[in-house]
Structure 1
Amino acid sequence: MRVLLSLILLVMMVVSSAISEEKLLDKIVLVVNGKPVLKSEIELAKEWYGVKSDKEAAKKLIDQIILAQAAEKVGIHATPTEVDNAILRLARMNRLGSVNEFKKRLEERGLVFSLFKDLIKREIVISKFVHIYLKRNLFEGIEEGKAVDLRKIRLIYLDKSKPGFNEKYEILKKLVNKEPFDKLAKEYSDDPVTAEKGGLLGEVKKGDLVKTLDKPIWEHKVGDIFEIDTDKGVYFIKIESEEKKIVHQEPTGEEVNKKLQKEVELYLKKLKENAVVEYIDKSLEG
């Protein structure tokens, strides 16, 4: 799976594509965990992933959306600057002088620039997700780099859109400071990736997570359990420990990439077991 943006950029060939120049009539063809997917996004995915069939493009897009949603649930984000810089690199790779030229070229081919930005944002978020969740834990690396403060975080996420939210919230309010946090996470958390690990997000440094989570995590002290309310859900956070560590340089190479790809596939499989995908266009199913 091409989850690292640097690898994905090498295969993106927008200028030489053969997409019809006739502007697409947009309609919703899929819904992935509540997120509508448009026909134009399928066309964009065909271009991005280099596949010919709508069904194959839909499969890859579903995987991308599910992974990005999992990352966002635990506070991983991509800044507008990161997205803009990635698109600028793409423009230059395609021998275009600016993002505006790149945007114009996309729109000439019937592709929606705002949807393209969303796709790039998801790729960046997934790349960070892989690094924080998987690569740091899979490989010890070598002791090179600088010392940084890392906090070990556990979380319980309650999705406001899911049935039973109020009941689970009231239960956790009563028990979160009395019962083992990892046990409560396994039983009540709506984030399947961290739930099976007792809510363990892993070690994070300042700036790793979205500001809504990052700021209070570094304002509280080790041992604190606290609540963060957002539009989409409620987080119960536990700061388990803090250490100053050398940021390791992870090993690279074909063998490492194979291990990482396998780990991503296992995570995605677990996420898909809990995902809800509705096929409005039945030809994309299967």
Structure 2
Amino acid sequence: MNNLVKYLLILIVGINFVSYAKDNIKLYDKIVIIVNNRPVLKSEIDLAKKWYNLKDDKEAAKKLIDSILLYQEAKKHHIQVYPQEVDSAILRIAKLNGINSIDNFKKFLEKEDIAYNEFYDLVKREITIQKYIQFVIKPKILENIKEANEETYRKVRIIYLSKKDKDFEEKYQFLKKKLTVANFSDLAKKYSDDPITKKDGGLLGFVKKGELLKQLDEKVWSIKPKQIAEVNTKDGIYFVLVEKEEKKFVPKDVDIDKIKQKLNEELKLQLKKLKEKAVIQYLDKSLKG
């Protein structure tokens, strides 16, 4: 992993979740803002204050709206995040707080009156945004730099079958016989147990070597484009299709501080454009900046 990627992912790897006293937290199950038809709860504002270490509700609401808009834009670019990635990030956060398991961290959140599903969604959203920065915004910034290395990307689709599914064996045998390159997308929508990629026909998008889970990564880079392969894991089986391979030029010897500055500028520009097109309704007028 190069230094730039490390920088972009440091928010997820190194974040320290700050504990607040229970008496200072109240969860209100009411919608306070709507962002492009996506309702925002008061409890999400409270959680955003802790995540971003803010005291002001308006500032937290602004940060949360920015995050939601970037997340929605990332999804339009088919940026995917696996449950395993979210679980790993949450476990790292738990350990930074001296907690050695997700189950114990859930108990910690419960004591703080924080809903685990909201915390999970927040972490997933942050990881998605970091991937969006890495795979969409960063290349846009670097495209005019002449000194570059050639890197190879592969467009990948998957179908995941969970061994816990009572129909696992039947689905597995059917796909083993019937699955082809031509029908892969349609059968992924119908049979895949992965809720993240299923609706997009199993599409993972373009990946670089070393970016997927180890078993998947090894298989993706051991087969040729237009080939289908299987990956057998403890919990399920993946059918993997490499649709095509592309080579892209990635600049070398870049100034990290300069890239950081350009990324911030580009993010501000993106957010400005997204807000101009967004429909944001403040049901709680006190949150409007």
- Spell out, residue by residue over 1:72-123, the C-alpha distance to the aligned partner (whole angstroms, 9 max, x if none): 0121121111111110110111111111111111111111110011011111
1:265 aligns to 2:265 (yes or no): no
- 1:148 aligned residue: 152
- Spell out, residue by residue over 1:230-264, the C-alpha distance to the aligned partner (whole angstroms, 9 max, x if none): xxxxxxxxx9x964346666735322211111111
Query: Post-superposition shift, 1:133?
Result: 1.6
- 2:16 aligned residue: 12
Which letter maps to 1:122? R
1:75-224 equivalence runs, <5 A: 75-139=78-142, 140=145, 147-149=151-153, 204-205=206-207
Which letter maps to 2:57? D
Taking the aligned partners of 2:120 and 2:249, their CA distance within structure 1 comes to: 34
Taking the aligned partners of 1:273 and 1:121, their CA distance within structure 2 comes to: 25
Structure 1 residues 283 and 137: CA distance shift in structure 2, 3 A? same
Question: What secondary structure is seen at the aligned counterpart in 1 of 2:78?
Answer: coil
Structure 1 residues 246 and 116: CA distance shift in structure 2, 3 A? same
1:211-250 equivalence runs, <5 A: 243-245=246-248
Structure 1 residues 21 and 51: CA distance shift in structure 2, 3 A? closer
Q: Residues 149 and 245 of structure 1 are in contact (CA less than 8 Å); yes or no, is this contact kept in structure 2? A: yes
1:56 aligns to 2:65 (yes or no): no
Question: What secondary structure is seen at the aligned counterpart in 1 of 2:23?
Answer: coil
Question: What secondary structure is seen at the aligned counterpart in 2 of 1:257?
Answer: helix
Q: Residues 45 and 61 of structure 1 are in contact (CA less than 8 Å); yes or no, is this contact kept in structure 2? A: yes
Aligned length: 204
Structure 1 residues 142 and 48: CA distance shift in structure 2, 3 A? farther
Percent identical pairs in the alignment equals 46
1:274 to 269, 274, 277: 277
Q: Residues 25 and 46 of structure 2 are in contact (CA less than 8 Å); yes or no, is this contact kept in structure 1? A: no
Q: Residues 68 and 122 of structure 1 are in contact (CA less than 8 Å); yes or no, is this contact kept in structure 2? A: yes
- 2:237 aligned residue: none
Taking the aligned partners of 2:68 and 2:124, their CA distance within structure 1 comes to: 11
Q: Residues 42 and 58 of structure 1 are in contact (CA less than 8 Å); yes or no, is this contact kept in structure 2? A: yes
Question: What secondary structure is seen at the aligned counterpart in 2 of 1:119?
Answer: helix
Q: Residues 5 and 123 of structure 1 are in contact (CA less than 8 Å); yes or no, is this contact kept in structure 2? A: no
Structure 1 residues 135 and 206: CA distance shift in structure 2, 3 A? closer
Taking the aligned partners of 2:57 and 2:285, their CA distance within structure 1 comes to: 11
1:249-260 equivalence runs, <5 A: 251=254, 253-260=256-263
Which letter maps to 1:148? T
Taking the aligned partners of 2:58 and 2:114, their CA distance within structure 1 comes to: 18
Query: Post-superposition shift, 1:20?
Result: 3.1
Q: Residues 52 and 60 of structure 2 are in contact (CA less than 8 Å); yes or no, is this contact kept in structure 1? A: yes
1:33 to 33, 36, 52: 36
Unaligned runs of 5+ in 1: 152-202, 209-217, 220-238
Structure 1 residues 11 and 205: CA distance shift in structure 2, 3 A? closer
Taking the aligned partners of 1:117 and 1:32, their CA distance within structure 2 comes to: 19
Structure 1 residues 254 and 19: CA distance shift in structure 2, 3 A? farther
